[in-house]
Amino acid sequence: SQQGEEDPQALSIQEGENATMNCSYKTSINNLQWYRQNSGRGLVHLILIRSNEREKHSGRLRVTLDTSKKSSSLLITASRAADTASYFCATDEYSNSGYALNFGKGTSLLVTP
Protein backbone atom coordinates (compact mmCIF):
# COMPACT_ATOMS: atom_id res chain seq x y z
CA SER A 1 0.00 0.00 0.00
CA GLN A 2 1.13 3.57 -0.58
CA GLN A 3 2.09 5.47 2.51
CA GLY A 4 2.72 9.00 1.28
CA GLU A 5 0.21 11.37 -0.24
CA GLU A 6 1.52 14.23 -2.34
CA ASP A 7 -0.27 17.50 -2.85
CA PRO A 8 -1.01 18.96 -5.33
CA GLN A 9 -1.43 16.15 -7.84
CA ALA A 10 -0.44 18.51 -10.63
CA LEU A 11 1.33 21.86 -10.69
CA SER A 12 1.98 24.19 -13.62
CA ILE A 13 4.33 27.16 -13.30
CA GLN A 14 6.54 29.36 -15.43
CA GLU A 15 10.31 29.27 -15.55
CA GLY A 16 11.88 31.23 -12.75
CA GLU A 17 9.01 30.66 -10.32
CA ASN A 18 9.26 28.47 -7.24
CA ALA A 19 7.45 25.15 -7.00
CA THR A 20 6.27 23.70 -3.69
CA MET A 21 5.04 20.15 -3.25
CA ASN A 22 3.77 18.62 -0.06
CA CYS A 23 3.72 15.08 1.25
CA SER A 24 1.79 13.59 4.13
CA TYR A 25 2.30 10.16 5.60
CA LYS A 26 0.69 7.95 8.19
CA THR A 27 3.15 5.97 10.31
CA SER A 28 6.42 6.56 12.10
CA ILE A 29 9.37 6.78 9.75
CA ASN A 30 13.11 6.39 9.77
CA ASN A 31 13.59 8.91 6.99
CA LEU A 32 11.74 10.55 4.12
CA GLN A 33 13.10 10.76 0.60
CA TRP A 34 12.14 12.67 -2.53
CA TYR A 35 12.55 11.21 -6.00
CA ARG A 36 12.05 12.56 -9.48
CA GLN A 37 10.82 10.66 -12.52
CA ASN A 38 10.88 11.82 -16.10
CA SER A 39 8.17 10.38 -18.32
CA GLY A 40 8.63 6.66 -18.92
CA ARG A 41 11.92 6.50 -17.05
CA GLY A 42 13.19 5.19 -13.73
CA LEU A 43 13.26 7.24 -10.56
CA VAL A 44 16.19 9.39 -9.53
CA HIS A 45 16.92 10.17 -5.89
CA LEU A 46 16.92 13.87 -5.02
CA ILE A 47 17.29 14.23 -1.29
CA LEU A 48 16.92 12.31 1.98
CA ILE A 49 15.92 13.83 5.29
CA ARG A 50 16.19 11.86 8.51
CA SER A 51 13.45 11.77 11.08
CA ASN A 52 15.51 13.87 13.49
CA GLU A 53 16.16 16.59 10.91
CA ARG A 54 13.81 19.49 10.19
CA GLU A 55 15.26 21.03 7.05
CA LYS A 56 17.74 20.14 4.37
CA HIS A 57 19.10 21.87 1.27
CA SER A 58 20.63 20.60 -1.93
CA GLY A 59 21.29 23.10 -4.68
CA ARG A 60 17.92 24.59 -5.67
CA LEU A 61 16.05 22.06 -3.50
CA ARG A 62 14.85 22.66 0.02
CA VAL A 63 13.08 19.96 2.01
CA THR A 64 11.35 20.33 5.34
CA LEU A 65 10.05 17.64 7.64
CA ASP A 66 7.51 17.99 10.44
CA THR A 67 7.19 14.64 12.20
CA SER A 68 4.50 15.96 14.57
CA LYS A 69 2.28 16.65 11.57
CA LYS A 70 3.64 13.72 9.58
CA SER A 71 4.31 15.97 6.62
CA SER A 72 7.13 17.14 4.38
CA SER A 73 7.52 19.73 1.68
CA LEU A 74 9.83 20.01 -1.32
CA LEU A 75 10.63 23.47 -2.65
CA ILE A 76 12.31 23.91 -6.02
CA THR A 77 13.54 27.47 -6.43
CA ALA A 78 14.05 29.31 -9.72
CA SER A 79 12.48 26.47 -11.69
CA ARG A 80 13.62 25.53 -15.18
CA ALA A 81 11.85 23.77 -18.03
CA ALA A 82 14.14 20.81 -17.36
CA ASP A 83 12.52 20.43 -13.92
CA THR A 84 9.36 19.18 -15.65
CA ALA A 85 8.81 15.71 -14.19
CA SER A 86 6.85 13.79 -11.58
CA TYR A 87 8.04 14.10 -7.99
CA PHE A 88 7.45 11.42 -5.37
CA CYS A 89 8.00 11.27 -1.66
CA ALA A 90 8.99 7.95 -0.15
CA THR A 91 9.03 6.96 3.47
CA ASP A 92 11.52 4.51 4.86
CA GLU A 93 9.51 2.85 7.57
CA TYR A 94 10.58 0.08 9.87
CA SER A 95 8.65 -3.17 10.00
CA ASN A 96 9.34 -6.55 11.57
CA SER A 97 11.21 -7.50 8.42
CA GLY A 98 13.45 -4.45 8.33
CA TYR A 99 13.08 -1.27 6.33
CA ALA A 100 10.63 -0.91 3.45
CA LEU A 101 10.50 2.08 1.11
CA ASN A 102 6.95 3.18 0.28
CA PHE A 103 6.04 5.82 -2.31
CA GLY A 104 3.19 8.27 -2.67
CA LYS A 105 1.24 8.93 -5.84
CA GLY A 106 3.34 11.89 -6.89
CA THR A 107 3.04 15.47 -8.05
CA SER A 108 3.27 16.14 -11.76
CA LEU A 109 5.19 19.38 -12.33
CA LEU A 110 5.09 21.28 -15.61
CA VAL A 111 7.46 24.22 -16.04
CA THR A 112 6.78 26.30 -19.11
CA PRO A 113 9.37 28.58 -20.72
Per CB under 8 A, residues contacting other proteins are 1-2, 4, 30-31, 33, 35, 40-45, 48, 50, 88, 90, 92, 95, 97-106
Q: How far is the CB of 26 from other proteins (least distance, A)?
A: 14
Give which of 81, 42, 74, 44 is closest to 60, Cα–Cα: 74
- When the beta carbons of 14 and 58 are compared against other proteins, the nearer one is 58
Q: How far is the CB of 95 from other proteins (least distance, A)?
A: 7
